[in-house]
Amino acid sequence: MRQISHKNYKLHLLCFLISAALALPLVAANEKPSLYFTISLIWTGSHLHSHNIEALQDLRKKHPKIRFHHLVSPAYFVSQNAKKNRDIIMSLIQRDDQVGIYIAPWRSIVEKSKTLFRVSPSFWGPKEDGCHTDCGNSVPLTIYQEDDIKRIFKTSLDILKTSGLPVGQSYAVSGWQHSADIVSAAATLGLKFDFSPIPPSRIERRLHHFPIFSWTFENWQQFEKFPYPMQSPTDSHVIFIPQNGGVVDYNTSNELVSYFQETINTKLEAKSLYNLVIHQETAATFLPRLHATLQALKDLAEKNAITLTFDWLSYRNRIESH
C-alpha cells in the first residue's frame, strides 16, 4: 500500500517534529496558564438518525461555552436528502464554531470526481463488504494515485462549499490517513490545518488487531512524544493538529481524563491544546461518557488554576505566528 510519494518524507517529518517541539515557546511567567480546548465533531457521511442529533443538541445545551470544530463529509450533499441533511447539520453549527471538511473516498464522491472507485483494502480487513449503496469510508485514501487524490479533494471541497456551509481551511482524512500526496492536495486548495493526526496510543487498546492501527502507527508515531500542532516538513505550510485528547468512541472516560492530565502536567506552552473527538453517528451511545468526561476536565482545570480557552481565531493566530 502506497503511503507516501517519496521515501525520505517520514524521516523529514520526524526530524522536523523533534526540532519544532524543542523550539516551542513557553507561556510567559506572569501569565495564567491556558489551554486551548476544542471538540472535533466528525460528520463521517453516515446516516443522520434523530437520537444522535438530539444527543448532540443536549450536549450543546449543557456545555454552551465549548466551541465545536465540525468536520463534515460532502457525502451528505450528493444524496436525495441533501437539503434535509444540510438543515440538520446547520442546526448544530453555532456562532464561533469552525467548519472543515472530512475527506473520505465514499463511492458517491469518488465517482463524481471521475475516479475509479476501489473497495480494498479496508481499515478492518482485506476489503469493504456490503457495498450496495454508498460506501468507501473504511477504504484508505492513500491507495489512490496522486492525481486521483487531488480530484477527490477538489470535488469534496466544491460540494461542501456549494452546500452553503461556512467552510474554513481545516480538514481531516478518514482513518487518520496521511501521505505527502494528501498534504499536497490539501495545500493546493488552500487548506491549512490537518486534523488527521492522532497519537497511536489513543486507539491501540481497541484497534491494535486491525490494519488501521498499523497504518496509524506508521503515520503518526511521532506525536506520542510531541502532541503539539506542527507544520508539515514540506513547503506546503499545512499545520498538523493532533487528536491528542482521544476519541470518545474508543477511549474510556478515565483514559480521556488521563490524556488531559498528561497535557496539564507538562509545562503549558503557547501551542498547547486538548482536542477531543466525537462522531455524529455514535453520539447518543456515548453521551453519558462524554458528559462525565467534560465535567471531570472542567474540575481538573479549575483545581490546577488553568484557563480553558475556546477561541479558535486567537489560537490560530498563536500557532501561525510561531
3-state secondary structure of 103: strand
Average pLDDT of the segment spanning 162-168: 95
Q: Could you report the per-residue pLDDT of 139-154, keeping only the tens digit for each?
A: 999 999 999 999 999 9
Kindly tell me if the per-residue pLDDT of 134 is higher than 50.
yes
Q: If we measure between CA atoms, which residue out of 166, 153, 161 comes closest to residue 196? A: 153
Q: Could you report the per-residue pLDDT of 247-282, keeping only the tens digit for each?
A: 999 999 999 999 999 999 988 887 899 999 999 999
Average pLDDT of the segment spanning 228-242: 86
Q: Domain map of the chain by residue range? A: 39-320
Helix (H) or strand (E) holding 69: strand 68-72
Kindly tell me if the per-residue pLDDT of 239 is higher than 80.
yes
pTM of the model: 0.90
pLDDT of residue 12: 54
pLDDT of residue 322: 67
pLDDT of residue 269: 83
Contact 76, 86 (CB under 8 A): yes
Average pLDDT of the segment spanning 227-245: 87
Kindly tell me if the per-residue pLDDT of 4 is higher than 50.
no
Distances in whole angstroms, Cα of residue 81 to Cα of each of 3, 52, 95, 134: 34, 17, 25, 13
- For the chain, what is the mean pLDDT? 89
Strand partners, 12: none
Q: Report residue 133: phi and psi, to 5°.
A: -120, -110
pLDDT of residue 31: 62
Average pLDDT of the segment spanning 220-229: 87
CATH architecture of 39-320: Alpha-Beta Barrel (3.20)
Kindly tell me if the per-residue pLDDT of 29 is higher than 50.
no
pLDDT of residue 14: 52
At CA 172, angle to CA 228 and CA 125, rounded to 5?
A: 110
pLDDT of residue 225: 80
Average pLDDT of the segment spanning 211-228: 92
Cα four-point dihedral sign 206, 232, 178, 86: positive
- Which cell numbers in the block locate residue 274? 486538548
pLDDT of residue 20: 47
Concatenate the DSSP letters of all residues of 69-117 into one string.
EEEE-GGGGSSTTHHHHHHHHHHT--TT-EEEEEE---HHHHHHTT---
In percent, the amount of the chain with pLDDT more than 90 equals 74
Q: Could you report the per-residue pLDDT of 177-214, keeping only the tens digit for each?
A: 999 999 999 999 999 999 999 999 999 999 999 999 99
Q: If we measure between CA atoms, which residue out of 319, 267, 310, 322 comes closest to residue 69? A: 310
